[in-house]
């Protein structure tokens, strides 16, 4: 038995790189009543056998920022702790062997520049000069990131652990956590094989065991163990210690130097599960049996790149299990199920690269209750009801692993584990030619193929105009000129019920929701920094009842945000009603004419104006109709109990036939809303951006004296010049904007596009991004510049705008 303390403020479970980094950062933040418990010895899980490549570039600016933090930390860690780390900043090369890959690489270089990283596009010859051992006959080009590097995973973790101890954190090896005690929805203690530790907070950094450890607290950590292999060669002449790391996605392989030889690993398209649940324990410093047959195709691809490999002796073949997630991103943050249980796990074979930054972010999240910046891409609340089943998780995660090095096409959809969640209209939509996409397990029509014209409802991806471009243009035109019907049943829908529902939402919402029943309010919900945590419509159904509608993918996040911010003592309960109601959205100038034929209720503009909700009887169906729009046209969201959905859909199409009513999908919603300047959470708006910088200041009740969450931060921001402002950009229709294109104003880099697409009515490429300037940005500054966008390495002229390019109704709000 050890002398474990009987209590600690914070208990970290797991002593891999992520637990050690979290411990170091908590300690350095002055949190010293912290104990890290490791069942075996430090690093003995996945960390010790990692290959040690540290790359930084991801598609999210803030995840790249985390990885950049890792690099900065690893640069100084040895000096700070006196412990060697094996860290070398020798750069990273990425090859392209096909024209499409070269476009991808060029776009990545643009992304890197947008995010402040130095990444050069170079020729095959220049790549070979940096990596002389490789043959480049099939190489079209490459990109070089000079600040990437490599580390010794065990040493760097040992240095993090040493730094944590130096900062006052306690680390205990040989202590297994066997249970987590939860009372009244919050954690109170961990049970170990050597006694109980009462605690306020628990941080689960248990790698592949995190799913099992999470279950101890009733928390779902959706990750899967997959076998991952690499070889280490004997010394090879010409391999120097300064060799950059190398990624060769078309040959599915990665490389780095190690003791004069090479490490070479790869991502096979047919990964092998580590088929155990839960993973065995102990599994200390253990590996799995190497599978040469399985690795052979990777080896053959590798030999084509580095012929010297054929002559090199293989010193060791490593088969290490590692945790992977269904979307290839790691998992961070407070679990939505239990207060004060935090998770840092599922690192998808880039835990060494992420460890420094992820530990920093997690420590701040644990200590302050909020992440340092928007981490939605890795937030545990991005998962939902579809992420509980292990078999489904495995199916989807294996696909994600197999796609690690395949082309990352714009708008690419997953295929595995589908269909899972289906609206009651699914079969009808399929019959009508729907090409479905997937969000949080839901099948949602992205676009409709005109089979009579020979179109197939299949996505063919491209960096230029994809095969659905014409179909979306058709739907877009129908919405602008006639009428369309969207199935948006997957909307997340909550009801806030109780005597104090108004008081609770008045605190949580930035806009004024204290309205009479039947009013709809478009509002943001802000964090204490004034950043936008949710972007929703709030409809008052009765004095003690509100309906809150938000995007499909935000179901878990927004529910957690609202539920956890209801002030103590108020009578207000949040209920998820998503599965009870289907939502048909009828939009377009002819929407009223169609709906009128199906209801005896008065839906004239006078009787049913914009921003109102009414219960209607439509073709026998009890409908809650919301007069809102996210596409900039006259129309209604028709909420109906699921068992009426098919009847309502059929009736609308029957009535709409003479008016040319068309089915339309999510890709048309996107092009329509871009043209109308409506913001999307997770793209243009999110926790890092306030309504003021996002151009949504008109939806904030700052002119009243009503207190609300985030008010103080907004007031402070309003009192000074804004550091950035969201602007729209339009470019020649031949340009393809996808997001992350760098924005240049008068030749200076001022930001990047958060999202992009095409405006079919205005006939221009459109995108939105923040224009930044340390001394402040105002409308004049935005509008007075001469702009260019970097699109795959080419500067194209663009025009900035602050008013929507399409705005016939002048309605500036979604609700």
Ligand X SMILES: Cc1cc2nc3c(=O)[nH]c(=O)nc-3n(C[C@H](O)[C@H](O)[C@H](O)COP(=O)(O)OP(=O)(O)OC[C@H]3O[C@@H](n4cnc5c(N)ncnc54)[C@H](O)[C@@H]3O)c2cc1C
Nearest distance in Å: CB 539, ligand X? 42
Calculate ∠ Cα 364-370-372, nearest 5°. 55
Site string for ligand X, 619-658 (x = CB under 6 A): ----------------------------------------
* Among 430, 65, 1, 375, CA closest to 193: 1
Nearest distance in Å: CB 75, ligand X? 16
Number of residues that bind ligand X (CB under 6 A): 40
Name the residue nearer to ligand X (CB basis): 73 or 662. Answer: 73
Name the residue nearer to ligand X (CB basis): 87 or 347. Answer: 347
- DSSP string for 90-145: --EEEEE-SHHHHHHHHHHHHHHHHTT---EEE-HHHHHHHSTTS--TT--EEEEE
Nearest distance in Å: CB 356, ligand X? 10
* Interface stretch with ligand X, choices 136-144, 195-203, 342-350, 764-772 (CB under 6 A): 342-350
Q: Where are the beta strands (DSSP E) in 738-806?
A: 742-745, 748-759, 764-772, 787-791, 794-801
Q: How far apart are CA 335 and CA 337, in angstroms?
A: 5
- Work out which of 14, 417, 457, 635 binds ligand X, going by CB under 6 A: 14
Q: How far apart are CA 697 and CA 460, in angstroms?
A: 40
Q: How far apart are CA 331 and CA 730, in angstroms?
A: 36
- Work out which of 16, 149, 410, 728 binds ligand X, going by CB under 6 A: 16
- Work out which of 351, 498, 677, 686 binds ligand X, going by CB under 6 A: 351
Name the residue nearer to ligand X (CB basis): 16 or 553. Answer: 16
Q: Does 18 bind ligand X (CB under 6 A)?
A: yes
The two beta strands, 794-801 and 787-791, are antiparallel
* Among 304, 307, 302, 139, CA closest to 237: 307
* Interface stretch with ligand X, choices 293-301, 350-358, 640-648, 730-738 (CB under 6 A): 350-358
Positive/negative CA dihedral, 576, 578, 584, 586: positive
Name the residue nearer to ligand X (CB basis): 322 or 512. Answer: 322
Q: Does 350 bind ligand X (CB under 6 A)?
A: yes
Nearest distance in Å: CB 111, ligand X? 19
* Interface stretch with ligand X, choices 9-17, 609-617, 753-761, 796-804 (CB under 6 A): 9-17
Radius of gyration of the chain measured on its C-alpha atoms: 27
Instruction: Show contacts with ligand X in window 191-210 (CB under 6 A).
Output: 205-209
Q: Does 53 bind ligand X (CB under 6 A)?
A: yes
Question: Do the Cβ atoms of 364 and 371 come closer than 8 Å?
Answer: yes
Nearest distance in Å: CB 44, ligand X? 5
* Among 480, 416, 429, CA closest to 668: 480
Nearest distance in Å: CB 247, ligand X? 10
- List, in order, residues 6 or more apart from 224 with CB less than 8 Å away: 273, 323, 324, 325, 326, 390, 393, 394, 397, 398
- DSSP string for 454-493: T--S-----SSS-TTHHHHHHHHHHHHHS-EEEE-TTSEE
- List, in order, residues 6 or more apart from 214 with CB less than 8 Å away: 204, 220, 221, 335, 341, 343
Instruction: Show contacts with ligand X in window 33-52 (CB under 6 A).
Output: 37-40, 44-47, 49-52
Q: How far apart are CA 669 and CA 480, in angstroms?
A: 11
Nearest distance in Å: CB 322, ligand X? 4
Nearest distance in Å: CB 179, ligand X? 9
Q: How far apart are CA 474 and CA 468, in angstroms?
A: 10
Name the residue nearer to ligand X (CB basis): 46 or 111. Answer: 46
Q: Does 15 bind ligand X (CB under 6 A)?
A: yes
Name the residue nearer to ligand X (CB basis): 50 or 133. Answer: 50
Nearest distance in Å: CB 408, ligand X? 18
Question: Do the Cβ atoms of 96 and 122 come closer than 8 Å?
Answer: no
Sheet holding 253-258, edge to edge: 120-122, 141-145, 92-96, 245-248, 253-258, 261-266, 224-233, 314-324
The two beta strands, 748-759 and 794-801, are unpaired
* Interface stretch with ligand X, choices 17-25, 389-397, 424-432, 788-796 (CB under 6 A): 17-25
Nearest distance in Å: CB 316, ligand X? 11
Question: Do the Cβ atoms of 588 and 603 come closer than 8 Å?
Answer: no
Instruction: Show contacts with ligand X in window 215-254 (CB under 6 A).
Output: 228, 230
Name the residue nearer to ligand X (CB basis): 358 or 440. Answer: 358
Nearest distance in Å: CB 282, ligand X? 7
Instruction: Show contacts with ligand X in window 310-329 (CB under 6 A).
Output: 318, 320, 322
Name the residue nearer to ligand X (CB basis): 134 or 213. Answer: 213
* Among 682, 377, 371, CA closest to 528: 371
Name the residue nearer to ligand X (CB basis): 390 or 575. Answer: 390
Q: How far apart are CA 279 and CA 284, in angstroms?
A: 12
Q: Does 147 bind ligand X (CB under 6 A)?
A: no
Site string for ligand X, 153-192 (x = CB under 6 A): -----------------------xx---------------
Nearest distance in Å: CB 231, ligand X? 10
Name the residue nearer to ligand X (CB basis): 17 or 538. Answer: 17
Q: Does 665 bind ligand X (CB under 6 A)?
A: no
- Work out which of 10, 119, 143, 353 binds ligand X, going by CB under 6 A: 353
Q: How far apart are CA 268 and CA 720, in angstroms?
A: 53
First to last CA, the chain: 62
Which structure tokens are listed for 520? 């709809």
Q: How far apart are CA 161 and CA 17, in angstroms?
A: 9
Name the residue nearer to ligand X (CB basis): 14 or 665. Answer: 14
Calculate ∠ Cα 458-464-465, nearest 5°. 50
Q: Does 553 bind ligand X (CB under 6 A)?
A: no
Nearest distance in Å: CB 235, ligand X? 20
* Interface stretch with ligand X, choices 344-352, 603-611, 693-701, 749-757 (CB under 6 A): 344-352
Nearest distance in Å: CB 57, ligand X? 13
Nearest distance in Å: CB 798, ligand X? 37
Instruction: Show contacts with ligand X in window 434-493 (CB under 6 A).
Output: none
Whether cis (ω within 30° of 0) applies to the bond prior to 282 is yes
Q: Does 264 bind ligand X (CB under 6 A)?
A: no
Name the residue nearer to ligand X (CB basis): 15 or 457. Answer: 15
Name the residue nearer to ligand X (CB basis): 23 or 640. Answer: 23
Q: How far apart are CA 737 and CA 766, in angstroms?
A: 7
Q: How far apart are CA 164 and CA 36, in angstroms?
A: 10
Nearest distance in Å: CB 35, ligand X? 11
Nearest distance in Å: CB 269, ligand X? 17
Name the residue nearer to ligand X (CB basis): 322 or 443. Answer: 322
Which residues, in sequence order, are bridge partners of residue 93? 144, 246
Nearest distance in Å: CB 728, ligand X? 37
- Work out which of 67, 145, 160, 213 binds ligand X, going by CB under 6 A: 213
Site residues for ligand X per CB under 6 A = 13-19, 37-40, 44-47, 49-53, 176-177, 205-209, 213, 228, 230, 318, 320, 322, 345, 347, 349-353
């Amino acid at each position: 038995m050890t002398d474990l303390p009987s209590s600690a403020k914070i208990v970290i479970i797991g002593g891999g790189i992520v637990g050690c980094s979290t411990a170091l950062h908590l300690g350095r933040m002055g949190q010293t009543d912290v104990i890290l418990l490791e069942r075996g010895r430090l690093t003995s899980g996945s960390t010790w056998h990692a290959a040690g490549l540290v790359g930084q570039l991801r598609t999210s600016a803030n995840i790249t920022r985390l990885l950049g933090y890792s690099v900065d930390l690893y640069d100084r860690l040895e000096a700070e702790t006196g412990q060697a780390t094996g860290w070398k900043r020798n750069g990273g090369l990425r090859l392209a062997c096909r024209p499409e890959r070269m476009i991808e690489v060029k776009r990545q270089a643009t992304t890197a520049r947008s995010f402040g990283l130095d990444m050069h596009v170079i020729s095959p010859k220049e790549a070979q000069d940096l990596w002389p051992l490789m043959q480049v006959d099939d190489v079209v080009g490459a990109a070089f990131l000079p600040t990437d590097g490599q580390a010794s995973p065990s040493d760097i973790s040992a240095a993090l652990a040493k730094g944590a101890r130096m900062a006052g954190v306690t680390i205990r090896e040989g202590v297994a956590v066997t249970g987590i005690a939860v009372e009244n929805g919050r954690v109170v203690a961990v049970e170990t094989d050597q006694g109980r530790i009462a605690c306020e907070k628990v941080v689960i950094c248990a790698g592949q065991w995190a799913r099992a450890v999470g279950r101890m607290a009733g928390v779902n950590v959706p990750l899967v163990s997959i076998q991952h292999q690499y070889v280490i060669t004997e010394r090879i002449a010409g391999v120097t210690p300064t060799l950059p790391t190398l990624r060769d996605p078309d040959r599915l392989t990665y490389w780095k130097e190690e003791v004069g030889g090479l490490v070479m690993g790869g991502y096979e398209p047919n990964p092998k599960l580590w088929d155990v649940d839960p993973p065995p324990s102990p599994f200390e410093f253990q590996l799995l049996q190497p599978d040469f047959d399985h690795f052979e195709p990777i080896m053959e691809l590798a030999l084509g790149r580095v012929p010297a490999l054929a002559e090199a002796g293989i010193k060791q073949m490593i088969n290490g299990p590692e945790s992977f997630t269904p979307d290839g991103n790691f998992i961070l943050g407070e679990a939505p199920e239990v207060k004060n249980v935090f998770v840092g796990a599922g690192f998808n074979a880039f835990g060494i690269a992420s460890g420094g930054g992820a530990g920093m972010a997690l420590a701040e999240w644990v200590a302050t209750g909020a992440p340092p910046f928007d981490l939605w891409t890795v937030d545990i609340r991005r998962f939902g009801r579809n992420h509980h089943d292990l078999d489904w998780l495995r199916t989807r995660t294996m696909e994600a692993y197999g796609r690690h090095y395949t082309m990352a096409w714009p708008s690419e959809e997953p295929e595995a584990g589908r269909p899972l969640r289906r609206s009651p209209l699914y079969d009808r939509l399929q019959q009508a030619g729907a090409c479905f996409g997937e969000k949080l397990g839901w099948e949602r029509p992205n676009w409709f193929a005109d089979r009579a014209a020979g179109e197939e409802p299949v996505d063919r991806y491209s960096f230029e105009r994809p095969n659905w471009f014409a179909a979306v243009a058709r739907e877009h035109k129908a919405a602008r000129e006639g009428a369309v019907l969207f199935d948006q049943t997957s909307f997340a829908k909550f009801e806030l019920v109780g005597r104090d529902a108004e008081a609770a939402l008045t605190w949580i919402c930035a806009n004024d929701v204290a309205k009479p029943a039947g009013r709809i309010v478009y509002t943001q919900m802000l964090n204490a920094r004034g950043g936008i945590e949710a972007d929703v419509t709030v409809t008052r159904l009765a004095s003690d009842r509100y309906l809150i509608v938000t995007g499909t993918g935000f179901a878990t996040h927004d529910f957690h945000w609202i539920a956890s911010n209801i002030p103590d003592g108020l009578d207000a309960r949040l209920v998820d009603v998503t599965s009870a109601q289907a939502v048909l959205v009828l939009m377009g100038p002819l929407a009223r004419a169609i709906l009128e034929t199906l209801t005896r209720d008065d839906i004239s503009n006078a009787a049913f104006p914009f921003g109102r909700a009414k219960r209607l009887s439509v073709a026998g169906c009890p409908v809650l109709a919301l007069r809102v729009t996210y596409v900039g046209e006259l129309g209604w969201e028709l909420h109906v109990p699921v068992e009426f959905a098919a009847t309502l859909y059929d009736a609308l199409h029957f009535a709409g036939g003479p008016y040319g009513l068309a089915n339309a999908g999510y890709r048309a919603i996107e092009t329509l809303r871009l043209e109308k300047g409506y913001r999307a959470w997770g793209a243009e708006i999110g926790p890092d951006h306030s309504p003021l910088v996002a151009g949504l200041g008109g939806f904030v009740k700052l002119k009243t004296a009503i207190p609300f969450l985030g008010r103080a931060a907004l007031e402070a921001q309003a009192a000074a010049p804004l550091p950035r402002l969201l602007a729209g950009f339009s470019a020649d229709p031949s340009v393809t904007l996808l997001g992350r294109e760098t924005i240049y104003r008068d030749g200076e880099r001022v930001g990047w596009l958060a999202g992009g697409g095409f405006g079919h009515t205005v006939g221009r490429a459109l995108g939105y991004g923040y224009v930044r300037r340390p001394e402040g940005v105002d409308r004049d500054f935005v509008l007075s510049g001469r702009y260019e966008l970097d699109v795959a390495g080419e500067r194209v002229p663009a025009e900035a705008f602050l008013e929507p390019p399409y705005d016939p109704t002048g309605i500036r709000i979604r609700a």
